Amino acid sequence: MVLIFIDQADGHVKKASFEVLSYGAKVAELLGTTAEGVVLGAVQSDLAALGKYGVKKIHQVANEALNHFDAQVFTKVIAQVAQAAQAQVVIFSNNVDGKAIAPRLAARLKAGLVPGAVALPETTNGFTVKKNVFSGKAFANYTIKSAVKIISLNPNSYPVTEGTGTAEVTPFSATVDAPKVKIKAVNKATGEVPLSEAEVVVSGGRGLKGPDNWNLITDLAHALGAATACSRPVADEHWRPHHEHVGQTGLTIAPNLYIAVGISGAIQHLAGVNRSKVIVVINKDPEAPFFKAADYGIVGDAFDVVPKITEAVKKLKGIA
């Protein structure tokens, strides 16, 4: 059996979970077995409807202690579900939660782990998983030989496929430890598209010359319905909050469209965005390294180019 971790926040299933469910269902098909899900905490989303992604059963541990994420507590609960269901493969999204749980679970289950998978495993001769290495500059194939295998899938690496059917949602009685970390308050940014969930991202760098010019980024982002991001120097200089910093030392994202404005494209920044499906670079320096990684490039002053793009988008969408 293939067990898939269904990630949720505030009672709603995260978009990345639809992708990992589709991926896990296909892995189960390759292995000639079934796909089941596990979700922790109270969920408002229709879990049974997730059956259209190929999962047959969903184990829910609806304990209030699991409404807030705690990697150690989640790991112990998922291990109990995996052992009770005799899971051969456990699959996560390679997001913040998956990165925290998967290695701990691998240690607990004595399982081989491949984080950041980008394709379906090769199962004709063993179990071999392809992943990115060297900040996306190359691929490596890892063969897992342990009885239990764990994979975390890079977001936006596998298409979401919908079919028909519903999943059987069954409660699972697990031993849930009290979290060692107590949450006193949760402060969330509101009215914004979360970077980890965004299909389109507009990002700015030092080429904008200062925080007073950031309206170029936000105006275009609002017109596109996009999230905003920034390079590390921008966050370090406090032009923008650090939760918007993307790159090797910030968030790693993989949107369908990434628009970089006034960012030179140092390797550290590129490592955080190079899995974007389409990269558009706007920079007045024709020698900017980012152009080598771009699908489309505009050599020009951002202060001239970006407002024109924003107006064109508004006109196309009929936005006043």
pLDDT of residue 248: 86
H or E stretch at 283: strand 278-283
Q: How many CB atoms lie within 10 A of CB 105?
A: 24
Q: How far is CA 175 from CA 74, 91, 231, in A?
A: 11, 21, 43
- pLDDT, residue 127, reads 97
Cα gap 248→207, rounded to integer Å: 20
Instruction: Say if residues 251 and 273 touch (Cβ distance below 8 Å).
Output: no
The whole-number pLDDT of residue 187 equals 76
Which amino acid makes up residue 41? G
Domain boundaries, the chain: 2-171, 195-317
Phi, psi of 25 (to 5 degrees): -65, -35
| Residue-by-residue DSSP string for 255-266 | -SEEEEES----
d(CA 120, CA 141): 11
What pLDDT, on a 0 to 100 scale, did the predictor assign at position 190?
64
For residue 246, the cross-strand partners are: 251
Query: In the numeric block, which tokens belong to residue 55?
Result: 């999962």
Q: Give the per-residue pLDDT at 189.
A: 66
Residue 164 token pair = 């028909």
Query: CA-CA distance, 36 to 170, in Å (whole number)?
Result: 11
Residue 156: DSSP 8-state? T
Structure tokens at 56: 């047959």
CATH class assigned to 2-171: alpha beta
Residue 311 burial by Cβ neighbours in a 10 Å radius (0-12, 13-18, 19+): middle
- Tell me which residues of the chain have a pLDDT lower than 70: 189-192, 320
At the fourth CATH level, which superfamily is domain 195-317? TPP-binding domain (3.40.50.1220)
Q: What is the pTM of this model?
A: 0.85
Residue 10 is classified by DSSP as: T
Query: CATH topology of 2-171 equal to that of 195-317?
Result: yes
